[in-house]
Amino acid sequence: MFTFEKLYKMGHEEVVFFSDESSGLKAIVAIHDTTLGPALGGTRMWNYANEEEALVDVLRLSKGMTYKAAAAGLNLGGGKAVIIGDPKTQKSEALFRMFGAYVNSLNGLYITAEDVGTTVKDMEYVFMETPYVTGIPKAFGGSGDPSPYTAHGVLTGIKASVKRKLGADSLEGVRVTVQGLGNVGSHLVKYLTDHKAIVSIADIDATKTKMLAEKHGATAVSPDDIVTMETDVFAPCAMGAVINDQTISALKCQVIAGGANNQLAETRHGSALKELGILYAPDYVINAGGLIYASMHHVGKSSADIASKTADIAHTLDEIFAMSTSKNIPSSEVADHIAL
C-alpha cells in the first residue's frame, strides 16, 4: 500500500502516477533525490502482478539511481519510471508518446531512458513529445543504447573483484555464471568469453539462451540452477532481489558482481554475504557504466572522458573493498556511506 511513511523512510521527493485509457498507459515515475541535479533513470516496462509490486520496484530502483549517480561522481539525482504491461504485446507508438508527454509535464525534473523491457525505438517515440530523454537513436543526436557501456562497466568491475578475491590478473579460466540475457547480460557474455572466461548462462527465454551459448561458446544452464551452481563469479543481470533468504544459504560462489539493480532483497543480506566470505560488488557501483555514458554524452563529453570515467568503477570498488576489510563492515554498507 502507498503511504507517506514509506516515502519518508526511503527519502523520496515525489511519486507521480500517470494513466491514459486510450493507449493503455499505466505508469509510475518516482523521483528520489535531486540534490545533485535532475533525476535521471530509465523506464522499465514489465508485466507486474499488481500496482503494489510496480510501486515497490520503482521506489527501490529510483533510490538506487540516486546512489549510483553519487557514487560515480555525476551531477545527477535519482529517478525511475515503470510502465505496467507486457513489453512483448502491449507496446505502441501512442503509449510511448503519451508517456513522453507526461514526462515533459515534469519540466526536466526527471530525464528518462530505456531500461528492462524498453528499447531505443521506444525512446524515439518518447523524444517526439519531450527533450527530457536520453538513449535515443544516434541519428537523432542521441547516445543510442547504453547497455553495451553498462556491460563494459560490469566487466571492469568483475576484473577488479576477481583481482581482489582470487588474486588473478586476468579472467582466463575464471568461471562466471550470468543470470539474465537482456541487453546488458547479452553484451556481458560476449565480453567475458572474449576474455577467455568459462561462462555459463541462463535466462527465462530458453531459445535466446541456446542461441547465445552457441554463438559465444558458453554453457546453457536452467534458470532454476544458475543462482546456486558452483562458480567463481556469479553475475546477476536479471531482475532484483536475487540475493534473499531463500538463495543466500545455497550460493556456491566466491564473488557476486553483476549488472542487475537492487540485487540484495534487504540491507541485511550484505552482512550475510560478508559472513559467508563472498565478495560483493555493490550493484549501483558496478553497473554505472550506462549511466556514465548516457549522462556524459548528453552534455557533450568526449569518448576519452567517458572511458576514463567508466574505468573509475574499478578504482571505486578497490576503495570499497579495502574499507570493508579495514573496518570489518559489508561492502554494501561502505558503498552507501560513499554515496551519501
Catalytic residues: 80
Contact 338, 71 (CB under 8 A): yes
Cα separation, 59 vs 30, whole angstroms:
6
The answer to whether the beta carbons of residues 59 and 30 sit under 8 Å apart is: yes
* Long-range Cβ pairs for the range 193-202 (8 Å, 24+): 193/217, 193/218, 195/155, 195/170, 195/171, 196/170, 196/171, 196/172, 197/171, 197/172, 197/173, 198/173, 198/174, 200/175, 200/176, 200/226, 200/229, 200/231, 201/177, 201/226, 202/177, 202/178, 202/226
At 118, is the secondary structure helix, strand, or coil? coil
Angle at 68 between CA 66 and CA 74, to 5 degrees: 85
Angstrom distance (rounded) from CA 26 to CA 137:
25
Write out the three cell numbers for 252: 556456491
The β-bridge relationship of strands 14-20 and 25-33 is antiparallel
The three cell numbers of residue 166 are 582470487
- Tell me if 303 sits within 8 A of 310, measured CB to CB: no
Give strand ranges (E) for 139-228. 175-179, 198-202, 219-220
- How many angstroms separate the CA atoms of 48 and 141, rounded? 33
Helix (H, G, I), strand (E, B) or coil at 133: strand
Alpha carbon distances (Å) from 260 to 117, 172, 237, 276, 321: 14, 23, 4, 21, 19
The three cell numbers of residue 267 are 540491507
